[in-house]
Amino acid sequence: MKMRNVVIALLMAASVACSKEEAKQKAQNVTAKVKKSVDNALDVAVPIGNREDPAAREKERFDESWRGVFQNVKMSGQPQGPAAPKVNLTFAPNGKESFKGLDANAINTAPIVVPLKGDVAGPSVLKTQVYLDRVHYSVGALDGRWGRNSAISLWWYQRAHGINTAEPGAVDEQTFRALAAQAGGVPALVQHTLTEEDVAGPFVQLPDDVYEKEKLECLCYETKQEKLAELFHTTQDFLKQLNPDADFPSLTAGQTLWVPNVREPLSADQPDIARIVVSIRGNTLNAFDANGALLFHAPTTLGSKYDPSPNETTKVVKVVFDPHFHYQPTLFHEVPDSDPEAELNPGPNSPVGVVWVALSKPHFGIHGTSDPESIGYASSHGCVRLANWDAREVGHRVTPGVEVAFVDTRDAEPSSETAEKQ
């Protein structure tokens, strides 16, 4: 009898243990399923393609078809706020300008030439680009030359601030006065003393082959000049133009350079963006607060493989700074699926740059780029690409759950319904 009771007790204990084990296994399965879902959202694997053709980019620079994309845009909920203090400015209407023979001081003190549009370059363009950048209307890589990115950024600034002009997207005196006042009338160029961090490496020679890149510990900057150009939101050529006597490879902390006086980078989270709208045909990203006020504008490049319908809406899932990149041949129609996958280490020259804002659409996110000069122009591959400095700012200003809407597909004319969503 005692033996029977012992057996029954052991069976009951085993049954309880099995039940606990089953419950534990079920919990582990659920956890694994959730983790897999999150991992899929964070799988940084998008087509990377080749660098854009500079000649095609130059042709697009003065393509004004963007005006048709935004013609029906309606702005709402734009707080005007207190008027900015006036800035003393000198204008030269109907003048001509260039950078020829001008040093940094002469650029800073040159009069403002208006109107400003078309294929022009000079101090007035540079000042406009710097001021737009400082008030969070990015032009991408600024270079002192007018073009599509600058015109679109200015157009959005005018629209958001209720500035009515005869030719939206062009600089007139009214617009420049408002922009300069909001930016504080600071000089367009400043003399920057290099820090140890500014000139610190490592610097690497990047191979073209993805499997050779996989061997690198960091997809770092290739040169000090590249790093400094990105730090000040400009191009390597323009940075050299501003500092013709600089020996960039040998620069050390304590030396000085003339650089564009761009906005300070965000180093901490500032979650104020409530909604993002990406225009595919317009190559723009606009970020709004909860009241519908436009907080941030930037040019973007989207690949033709990712051409969502005008009403497609996704959400931010996660923000990852300095992401690893998962190279998957199955995402490339021109690459055999049998090719091996690869894991690339982080770095500013990663195919997705310095930040990945994962969206609820698989393999889709907002991210940086290794080629900031390509931003704002057509691309055969890619996701929602921004210049690294713009992508980092977006990363610090969004949180999971923020809506990201895609409008203006390339295969259809924009409707008034679509445009109103901007």
Amino acid (one-letter) located at 243:
N
Containing structural domain, residue 381: 42-55+266-420
Q: Compute the C-alpha angle 344/349/35, nearest 5°.
A: 40
Domain count, the chain: 1
Identify whether 305 is part of a domain.
yes
Cβ–Cβ under 8 Å, residues 390 and 298: yes
User: Is the residue at 92 inside a domain?
Assistant: no
Predicted TM-score of the model (pTM): 0.84
288: domain CATH number? 2.40.440.10
- 322 confidence band (pLDDT: 50, 70, 90): very high
| Domain assignment of residue 88, yes or no | no
- Within-domain flag for 342: yes
Residue 76 has pLDDT above 60, yes or no: no
- Cβ-Cβ contacts under 8 Å for 236 (sequence gap 6 or more): 223, 225, 226, 229
Give 360-396 pLDDT, tens digit per residue.
988 789 999 999 998 987 664 557 899 999 999 999 9
Report yes or no on 368 lying in a domain: yes
Q: What was the pLDDT predicted at 304? A: 55
Is 207 within the bounds of a domain?
Answer: no
Residue 14: CB partners within 8 Å, gap ≥ 6?
Answer: none
Mean pLDDT of the chain: 83
Q: Is residue 233 part of a domain?
A: no
